[in-house]
Amino acid sequence: MDKLKLTGLIGRALTEDPNFKYFQKFKVDGWLKKGASTTTAWDDLGLNSIALGEVTKVDTFRIYQQYITELNKKAENIPWDRWSNLFGGGSETELAIKVSILAKLGRTDSIDLQLMVESRGMIAFLKAVKKHGKILDERVEMDVVKAIVNLQ
Contact 18, 33 (CB under 8 A): no
Read off the pLDDT of each residue in 11-30 and give the average, rounded to a whole number. Answer: 74
Contact 87, 124 (CB under 8 A): no
Let me know the angle formed at the C-alpha of 91 by 150 and 46, rounded to the nearest 5 degrees: 135
For residues 3 and 138, which has the higher predicted lDDT (pLDDT)? 138
Q: How many CB atoms lie within 10 A of CB 76?
A: 7
Read off the pLDDT of each residue in 133-149 and give the average, rounded to a whole number. Answer: 85
| Choice among 12-26, 70-84, 132-146 with the minimum mean pLDDT | 12-26
Under DSSP, is residue 23 helix (H, G, I), strand (E, B) or coil? helix
pTM for the whole structure? 0.85
Q: Is the pLDDT of residue 147 over 90?
A: no
Residue 1: inside a domain, yes or no?
A: no
Our count of domains for the chain comes to: 1
Q: Is the pLDDT of residue 96 over 70?
A: yes
Residue 6: inside a domain, yes or no?
A: no
Instruction: Check residue 56 and report its DSSP letter.
Output: T
Residue 88: inside a domain, yes or no?
A: yes
Contact 67, 31 (CB under 8 A): yes
